[in-house]
């Protein structure tokens, strides 16, 4: 999912930020950027697994966009 216009210096930050936010919204993980979402209690393995999956997705999207 490589973004068409990657970050090429500080002057492109605003455009990059807008594109990243759209991709995060499209992937339904923007809330991981907007606010701090703590680890779910470890008693529920499925919740923890889903939380980790979302965190990994956010990191991948941001790293691929740079």
Mean pLDDT over 20-36 rounds to 90
Cα–Cα distance for residue pair 21/47, rounded to 1 Å: 24
- The pLDDT confidence band at residue 8, using thresholds 50, 70 and 90, is low
The runs of H, that is alpha helices, within 1-66 are: 13-26, 31-34, 45-64
pTM across the whole model: 0.69
Domain ranges of the chain: 10-64
Q: Is the pLDDT of residue 9 over 80?
A: no
CA 7 vs CA 10, 27, 58: distances in Å: 8, 20, 17
Mean pLDDT over 14-25 rounds to 90
């Amino acid at each position: 999912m490589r973004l068409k216009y990657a970050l090429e210096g500080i002057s492109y930050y605003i455009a990059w930020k807008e594109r990243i936010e759209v991709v995060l919204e499209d992937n339904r993980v923007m809330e991981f950027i907007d606010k701090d979402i703590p680890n779910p209690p470890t008693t529920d393995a499925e919740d923890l697994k889903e939380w980790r999956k979302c965190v990994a997705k956010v990191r991948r999207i941001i790293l691929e966009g740079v």
